[in-house]
Structure 1
Amino acid sequence: MSADAVVSHNSAVAAKIALFRSLFRGRDDLYPRLFASLRTGKTGYSPACANEWVRGLCDKRAVRCQDCPSRRFLPLTDETIRQHLCGHDDRGREFVIGLYPMLLDETCFLLAVDFDKEGWRADIGAVSETCRQFGLPAAVERSRSGNGGHLWLFFAEALPAVLARKLAAHILTETMERRPEVGLDSYDRFVPNQDTLPKGGFGNLIALPLQKRPRQSDDSVFLDERLLPWPDQWAFLSTMQRITRAQAESIVRAAEQRGRVVGVRCPVLDEDAEGDAEPWTAPPSRRRAEPPIVGPLPERLELILGNEIYLAREGLPAALRNRLLRLAAFQNPEFYRAQAMRLPTFGKPRVISCAE
């Protein structure tokens, strides 16, 4: 692989930065920087600002950064990327940045799915396999903590966030036919996390990979199919293909026709609910027939009726478990209502599950 790569570990810094920025594209008029509270030790991200904590200009305790009249956000530059990769700024302080992927026109050049459950390795491996089945290139990164991972999809051009998110949702829906453990809450783990940009907001952010300190522990690096770090991270990134708009639209169109974007019913049929904004994709009854479950099924199931309906999951095929989980779930109208009003969707799950 390295022989065919344009950029490798031995390439010049400028070439690495150019490759990095060609893949990890988002807002370049501002960027979030990791901070740690001196009082509590808690960490978080806030937009890098030239007036941060300047007396008389900045009071984060009272005013949000996006509402501050004195804000002077710093742009994302080659030097910013260099400091992130090196792990420190020009004053020797640790330097970690993230990215706001959603652009002002509500498009994005990438989408990431966050996995942080105990079984994240199996989950991300299953989703990667689904991407391969669709012929979609995907990159797997172990997170900074080492206790989770990100699956990255890169696009050849800026796609509408709604299209990118439908593509990712369909990938998850198909994956859960084989591995329902991925969980319905994974639909809330996308970056960007909604189709529209909240009024006055920047959308959600994601930490950029390959920062030096975690990289020294093989964290925040990209992994191969065995979930081992690629020997040459830059050579791997050089081979990363981008998904075209035609590919995304073709897959999403077929998924919409089969009701397989999220694959969970909408309790309210209105124009804000996912799938109903394009009623021509639905059958006349507005109810799509469920596809048959492939594979052997148990001859009988034992149900226990109590305060809930209890069913032993041992011995149930994955596809049947997935179907039962979806039977006890519905899409949250409050999520779509907030999104349509360009309000934050934080704390509003896209899918509400009544199964455990």
Structure 2
Amino acid sequence: YQLLTGIFLGAIHAKYDAIDKDTPIPTDRQIEVDIPRCHQYDELLSSPEGHAKFRRVLKAWVVSHPDLVYWQGLDSLCAPFLYLNFNNEALAYACMSAFIPKYLYNFFLKDNSHVIQEYLTVFSQMIAFHDPELSNHLNEIGFIPDLYAIPWFLTMFTQIDIERCVRESINLFCWTPKSATYRQHAQPPKPTSDSSGIRSSTPYFPTECPDPPKTDLSRESIPLNDLKSEVSPRISAEDLIDLCELTVTGHFKTPPKKTKSSKPKLLVVDIRNSEDFVRGHISGSINIPFSTAFTAEGELSQGPYTAMLQSFRGKVIVIVGNVAKHTAEFAAHLVKMKYPRICILDGGINKIKPTGLLTVPSPQI
């Protein structure tokens, strides 16, 4: 965890010792209620000494973070840090204090609804991306992530089989374009300098999170309501260019190449009308105009590229258009038909036009 959170040992003991962990605060009552229920099956954490250490570490975090609040689940989040550093409370506190802003940024705000809702929406889109049949079923019965997934995120899955969680995550995310899980609230802003030019930071953990530089081809933030209206995730033009192994011209930087073995096969479906498609399209894409794509019953209309689309079932399929609402609806139709790994190009075809990557047919003589 020290490596994961980038802990610098420095003066962590002095800082921890200086925190007032004795003066009563309003959160004390909730902490007292939560601690006995946290990891009752573990002999170490459920011991009287374990409870006392829990109490001190949790209270130290609450007192030293006045802009944040104690939410139920923080005790479970604290548990692995305390378990691994049972004889070093200061290090347990430091690890937890570094972990939260790096991986749960703004989750413990007094009003964290905007953060939670964004995470839950992206989570719902990931279900649709990987398991459309499950997604359809959950939507039909109204079993939304708000009803079951909030504790998973608040505790960072500490209450489940972590080995299985990691193993399954690796299997899932090798098929997931990185930008599909983009969240505007996922990371803190870059640290700023004060008037003397010195960057503000804590004495023992870094505030800077590794974040690739944003370009004109990166994912853009959209209003939460717009994000919620889309069943399938968006991917960036950067990811699309990388996955299609295209070379960008001009001032745009081509993403670094991946090995072919790690690159999923994908199909780009351009849903603009045929006239717009002929004027310029992504190399290798197929054209299925939105206006004629589906029957009144919601089935795919038979056309020249229907068989190709069906042959790519199970591969990544990227929907590209020039009207965001249409691309979202087209993607939702495919999810309803149990097509997995459906995603939408963020910004549509207009994001690709400036790159010089659109294929334009030679004029007929």
TM-score, normalised via structure 2 length:
0.29
Q: Which has the larger radius of gyration?
A: 2
Higher helix proportion (structure 1 or 2): 2
TM-score, normalised via structure 1 length:
0.29
